[in-house]
Amino acid sequence: MNRVGFIYHPDYLRHDTGAGHPERPARVSSLVNHLLAIPEWHSLMHIQPRSATVEELALVHPDRYIRSIEARCRDGETILDDGDTHVSRESFGVALLAAGGVFEGIDRVMRSEFRSVFCAVRPPGHHAKSTTAMGFCLFNNVAAGARYAERRHGIERVAIVDWDVHHGNGTQEIFYEDPSVLYISLHQYPFYPGTGAEDERGIGRGKGFTLNCPMQAGSGEREYLEAFEKKILPALDQFKPELLMISAGFDAHKDDPLAGIELTEGSFSKMTKMLMDVAGEHCEGRIVSVLEGGYDLGALARSVEAHIRELLR
């Protein structure tokens, strides 16, 4: 059985988005409560996250932007953008703990303590652009993690596979001119946030290192696995990543209220298996998977269980 790390902290519940907001604390508390009841819970190695430093976040976000988020949370603002991204006074500190959890996972995987790590963090990150909070996201956890892996561990090629139902426009923006990070996204399209067309492939030295696989509403497992077989796996094999990261949103599940894709728990299991095979071939199995979206509590918990069961095989 693979050694798999699990990163979580009850302080992730302190990011208060207010009554009725879909990105609510119950997403991760119910997820953990669900996992507590399965036998595999005892096979996971439980890792305490640490808080990211401002200097570490500044690998992908300007210092001025980071300080503005800190000040706006401290001053009691409750909405950071046009209406989606709700915060509380605690949110800045929780966001540092979320990014730091990803850094801790990368450290553990790069030190070969674990083959893979799942980071049950919030707030999510993949919509956060270098200077813009949006889509429930303050800081881009996965993008910061990829850059941290490069700077801290000397990694030269990081692949990010983003299967959240929404396009990770922030991650794409941050690496759009960068050939050291291969960003791959499967997402409902056209849909929020409006980016992620197939012809968005990067620019300059980064051209060809962004791969978007837009999916029509109503698409399901067959279309997703076909995209993996025909586009994603060949791109990963050509790139030969030294670290594979997953922006693991589970809102492409058929029961999710915020989208129209028809995946099941089994679909996430199959996609996980495919990525494990790639990681085994190219990067000694190293995978750092980071929670993004997923808003039906039952579907989210069951999908994460399927994902973790596969990582443990």
Catalytic residue among 9, 61, 126, 127: 127
Sign of CA dihedral 134, 60, 293, 203: positive
What are the angstrom distances between the C-alpha of 227 and each of 6, 164, 194, 223, 262?
A: 28, 15, 20, 6, 15
Residue 55: its H or E element: helix 54-57
Beta strands in 69-180 (DSSP E): 116-119, 158-162
Does the annotation count 86 as an active-site position?
no
Q: How many CB atoms lie within 10 A of CB 262?
A: 19
CA angle 108, 110, 244 (to 5 degrees): 105
**Is-contact 259 188, C-beta < 8 A?**
yes
What are the angstrom distances between the C-alpha of 303 and each of 26, 228, 259?
A: 16, 18, 16
What are the angstrom distances between the C-alpha of 124 and each of 27, 157, 294, 303?
A: 11, 23, 10, 17
Give the separation between CA 188 and CA 251, rounded to whole angstroms: 10
Closest alpha carbon to 258 in 191, 308, 198, 201: 191
Greatest Cα pair distance in the chain: 50
Tell me the HSE value of 290 on the side-chain side, using a 13 A CA sphere.
31
Give the separation between CA 107 and CA 125, rounded to whole angstroms: 19
Give the separation between CA 253 and CA 305, rounded to whole angstroms: 13
Catalytic residues: 127
